Chains A and B, each alone.
Chain A
Amino acid sequence: MAQSIVEIKDLSFGYKGKLLHHGINMTFPKGKVIAIMGGSGSGKTTLLRLIGGQLKPTKGEVQVSGEIVHKQDRDGIYRLRRKMGMLFQHGALFTDLSVFENVAFPIREHTDLPESMIRDLVLMKLNAVGLRGAHALRPTELSGGMARRVALARAIALDPSIIMYDEPFAGLDPISMAVICDLIRSLNDALGATSIIVTHDVEETFQFADYVYFVANGVVAAEGTPEDLRKSEMPFVHQFVHGEKDGPVPFHYAAPEYHASLLRGAR
């Protein structure tokens, strides 16, 4: 296997005395597109925040380029984050800046490049996501898919070695979805980066991911290549991949017996 750039080792995380993850192990090899899948509320986004050092694990560790994230001081975490780009669920574009300035933001903050070079870099990044023509627009003038693409251009502005995507397909129309799918793969390969995608969209993700981790009930319930998982007979994986309404993940939230509740008038 290729050298891993991110490693999650025996990680447990919880808050308010409740554990969300128990003993998770994951490896993210260089140059690969790895998906973390699972139902809503399974703590997938929390894993990205743990990798980014925005949260501290209760037990275990996350290593980025061989360095333990939660043992770093603020400067150390910021140094590690400069190797990362993150695409937030709704883009998280700065609404007071234009599209151009949004993409220029990390470049201006972390480099002293002359204005002409910043301009060239920003236009190159925007061109990569097909939105060079939209550089003068405000984020409020963009559609959901376009905003996501601008945010992607911003995430790759400093050529990160790790790109993290938080629900990149949520709320997108099929065309935008296909565009984002294509961009994730092509940018990853062009930059020689490692992509970590948190999502619950099975079909789209299986088209381009190299490896998939399924997270359920706080543990890695299954892992493998998309082909392996498609064929998997594990009840949870089968239910998730085929979108079945009932199965190991029940349709009903835990509740007292139905008839008894009605008769008792219980809430």
Chain B
Amino acid sequence: MRKIERLLKNLGAGFINKMWRFGAGARLFGLTLVSSGESFRRFRLTIREVYFTGVLSLIIILVSAFFVGMVLALQGYHTLQKYGSSEAIGVLVALALVRELGPVVTALLFAGRAGTAITAEIGLMKATEQLSAMEMMAVSPIARVIAPRFWAGVIAMPILATLFTMMGILGGYMVAVPLIGVDAGSFWSQMQANVDWEYDILNGVFKSLVFGVACTMIALFEGYDAPPTAEGVSRATTRTVVTSSLAVLALDFILTAFMLG
């Protein structure tokens, strides 16, 4: 009986805690939006963060994309040739990347590469009293630190996802055309004919935009909310990856359901 009571208590406490954190995250999101004026008035603050979150993530994004594209082409060709439609390999690679893999894998890599860096940086700024110092200088840390990083993530993610998709298609091409010997003309022409600008490409960009908001905000909130200790920052960094990944996959399902529905 006691065990059940304790279990229920823990469950309840865990749920309330999660709700509190969700509320605090939503509050920070609201404050970030309200305090965003500075990020645009002094756009170089945001540009600087685009460099840290976006440009420095390029290597991992591009290399991963190339391999993802190559694997897609290999797997796709293996299945398509059974039905005699190996010429459609270009469409398969492009659609898979544009609709799903581009935005999703980019967001997962972004959470691992840039999200953790953001959380650790903000968490350490808090632990070393840099955010407090800013507050005492009458400078809002949300306007000066959080908002530029948020907009940088929102700007960087769709660009990274687009580059991921392009690189993935190139990887698919390298395997399908020179290696397997699919006709280059049909690879590109089928892709051109079957990938829709609005239905496929814009929807993919919209997804990456939503993922950009979610991943960056989670990373920022975890850093801002981290207990100012070594253990606190390390846990917050882990939570960033776990929460961002789950959020991206769940949001992907919801968005896809709406887009296909």
A contacts, CB < 8 Å to B: 52, 54, 77-79, 81-82, 84, 86, 88-90, 92-95, 105-106, 109-110, 151
Asked if A86 contacts B133 (CB within 8 A), the reply is: yes
B106-144 contacts to A, CB under 8 A, are 125, 128-130, 132-133, 135-140, 144
State the CA gap A92–B144 with chains docked (Å). Answer: 16
9 more A-B residue pairs beyond the given contacts A52-B135, A95-B128, A110-B139, with a C-beta to C-beta distance below 8 A = A78-B140, A84-B136, A86-B136, A92-B128, A92-B129, A94-B133, A95-B125, A109-B144, A151-B133
Cα–Cα, bound, A217→B132 (Å): 26
**Are A54 and B128 touching (Cβ within 8 A)?**
no
Please tell me if the beta carbons of A110 and B130 are within 8 angstroms of each other in the complex.
no
* Residue contact B132 to A106, C-beta cutoff 8 Å: no
Contact sample, A vs B, 22 pairs, CB 8 Å cutoff: A54-B132, A54-B135, A78-B140, A79-B138, A81-B135, A81-B137, A81-B138, A84-B136, A88-B132, A90-B129, A92-B128, A92-B129, A92-B130, A93-B130, A94-B125, A94-B130, A94-B133, A95-B125, A95-B128, A109-B137, A109-B138, A110-B138
Give the size category of B's interface with A. 10 to 19
A-B complex: 3 closest residue pairs judged by Cβ atoms: A92-B133, A92-B129, A78-B138
Tell me which residues across on chain A come within 8 A of B132, comparing CB atoms: 54, 88, 92
A92-B128, A95-B128 known; A109 vs B139 contact (CB < 8 Å): yes
Residues of chain B with a CB closer than 8 A to A78's CB: 138, 140
Task: Give CA–CA (A78, B144) in the complex, Å.
Answer: 14
- Which residues of B are found within 8 Å of A95, using beta-carbon distances? 125, 128, 130
Task: Say which residue of B130, B136, B137, B144 sits within 8 Å of A54 (CB atoms).
Answer: B136
> What is the bound-complex CA distance between A81 and B137, given in angstroms?
6
| A142 nearest CB across to chain B (Å) | 14
Note all chain B residues with C-beta closer than 8 A to A105: 137, 139
A126 and B46 alpha carbons, distance in the complex (Å): 29
